[in-house]
Amino acid sequence: MDTLSRLVPFTRDVFLGALEHYNEAIWPAQIVAYLFVLLALWAALRPFPGSGRLVAAVLAAAWIWTGVAYYMLHSAQINWAAWGLGFVFLLQGVAFVAAGVIRSGVAFRFTGDAAGWGGLALIAVAAAVYPLAGLGSDQGWPRMALVGVAPGPTLLWTLGMLLLAAPRVPWHLLFIPLPWSLAVGVGAALLALPQDFILPLAALLTLVLAIRKNGLSRSMSASC
């Protein structure tokens, strides 16, 4: 436990205080982030020429913002690893730009299969359930982690959106979100943040659904 504690060099109160200061500093960016999250979902539900680029650009912006604003500019004050964590978020943002914006190699659409419904469920959890999970305790506004500007819900939303990728889920874009979501469980246990226990479960669900979706896509391609 001592070893794990060194990985999270701050207390729950310090973490929530920093999150409160962050939300106050960036307001009203949270509202803009939610509007873009809804825009990305609409583009996946009603695909149009260039919609894949739009979704990838929104995902990239969220990861880059979180890496710079959340980790490097705010969390660095309480967390010695914040710059490294921010750099990883920047890498994921660049991956979305390269694969989805520049190359336009990723399409997003809802197909009504298990992966599609699972993706919508994760998006709903990221946008509504996750930030509201702490209401009634010490995690009400402005101590909420919100999608598009904070790591936890942004990870959940990303997993959900990638399950809507078509015809297959791009494994290279899951290379960072999947293990990161699994690792968040450590911090959840140490800081007593129950909503973060959703992330390891979401990562396992995403892995199972992605394997199933990609396997079915491969079988259909082989039969054609």
Do the Cβ atoms of 186 and 150 come closer than 8 Å?
A: no
Q: Closest Cα partner for 173 from 80, 107, 77?
A: 107
Percent of the chain topping pLDDT 90:
72
Averaged pLDDT score across all residues of the chain: 90
The rounded percent of the chain whose pLDDT value lies above 70 is 91
The CA radius of gyration of the chain, in Å to the nearest whole number, is 17
Model-level pTM? 0.92
Give bridge partners of residue 73 from the DSSP assignment: none
Cβ-contact 161, 148 below 8 angstroms: no
Report the amino acid identity of residue 166.
A
Domain boundaries, the chain: 15-217
pLDDT digits (tens, 9 = 90+) for 77-132: 888 889 999 999 999 999 999 999 999 889 999 989 999 999 999 999 999 999 98
Mean pLDDT score, 201-213:
96
pLDDT tens string 125-162: 999 999 988 766 678 899 999 999 999 999 999 999 99
Q: Are 62 and 149 in contact (CB under 8 A)?
A: yes
pLDDT at 57: 98
